[in-house]
Structure 1
Amino acid sequence: MPNATLHDLFVADLRYLYFADRQLQKTFPLLARAAHARSLKRLCQEGVDYSSERLQRLETVFDQLGENARAKTSHGMRGLLEEAGEVAQKKLPPEVKDAALLASIQRIAHYGIAAYGTAAAYADAVGERKAAKILARSLKEKKEADAEMTAMAEDEINPRAIEGGAEAD
């Protein structure tokens, strides 16, 4: 992007986010089917709904900017989704697979935290206050989901994986 402005970077980041959330809507059902624990299945099913909400917010931001809502392939997100899909296909004890799935989902969430945080900061920097607020809401939800996943891993999924992995030995 020769002679790109911060506004150009902002719009490009929105397009990467649009790609990411559209792909998440396709991937979460696959991960839900692969999950064993009810809490993990629920997390994946809720992920579809949250992705839909974020997509609507992104479309609102695109409208505010007078831009077309279109996706730009995020190779980073694509790689994370491919890894999650590979985990879903692995033959592992159910409890161990749940731990691996949750770790994959959390890595995806961390990408989202970084991407939404950057987009919100760019929006603020270029004076798009309404867009910044909308993006900050998605960022807040991503951070809350991350905290929920950490608690789920520490309190439920990882202890079960330890027990299940020991039984498989």
Structure 2
Amino acid sequence: MALFSKDIKTLDDLFVHTLQDIYYAEKQIEKTLPKMIDKAGSPELKQGFETHLEETRGQVQRLEKVFEMHGESPKAVTCPAINGIIKEAEEIAGEVADQDVLDAALTAAAQAVEHYEISRYGALAAWARELGRNDCAELLHQTLEEERATDEKLTRIAEERVNRKAA
């Protein structure tokens, strides 16, 4: 999709497209997290990734419910942003030999994913409210809060353990 696609004419079109975008992103994250779990050395980081994998599965189901509530079938459209974030994480992780530094890199990569998700879910929840879809907004806001909580957990893990060990 081009930046200003001819297919997006209304806020509703933008809302549906962005749902499709984040649906794709969540599916990619669901595929990538097991690799990150395997690479993580820090028990706290590994546990954090495992918890987020379970949350991600729930978020995919929640998105499917939002699609249904909005009268749409769940559909993914390629999200170049998440593909780029994941590709960069894989490249960096492949170059780091020291496990403590690798954990710091994995933590930073996971936070890049979280920040992308936070921006998308924040916009989607706001647009849902503007479209009079408070039912959808509530579900999207629930996911937004989970993403924020995950980001805070990752920050704590990084600042209290992972970054210190890497230094």
Q: TM-score, normalised by structure 1?
A: 0.93
Aligned partners of 2:118 and 2:144 also within 8 Å = yes
1:58 to 60, 63, 72: 63
Deviation at 1:74, TM superposition (A): 0.7
Equivalent positions of 1:1-169 (< 5 A) are: 1-2=5-6, 4-162=9-167
Q: Distance in 2 between matches of 1:52 and 1:20?
A: 12
Q: Which amino acid aligns with 2:143?
A: S
Superposed structure 1 runs of 4+ greater than 6 Å apart? none
Q: Which amino acid aligns with 2:18?
A: D
Deviation at 1:90, TM superposition (A): 2.3
Q: Distance in 2 between matches of 1:154 and 1:44?
A: 16
Aligned partners of 2:52 and 2:150 also within 8 Å = no
> Deviations along 1:43-98, whole A, 9 cap, x unmatched?
11122111110001000000011101010111001100111222332232110010
Sequence identity, in percent? 35
SS at match of 2:118: helix
Q: TM-score, normalised by structure 2?
A: 0.94
Q: Distance in 1 between matches of 2:48 and 2:94?
A: 19
- Say what the alpha-carbon RMSD is for the aligned residues: 1.0
Deviates more, 1:58-67 or 1:85-94: 85-94
Q: Distance in 2 between matches of 1:145 and 1:51?
A: 11
Q: Distance in 1 between matches of 2:50 and 2:157?
A: 15
SS at match of 1:46: helix
Q: For this pair of structures, how many residues does the alignment match?
A: 162
Q: Which amino acid aligns with 1:26?
A: K
Aligned partners of 1:30 and 1:85 also within 8 Å = no
SS at match of 1:103: helix
Q: Distance in 1 between matches of 2:133 and 2:96?
A: 47
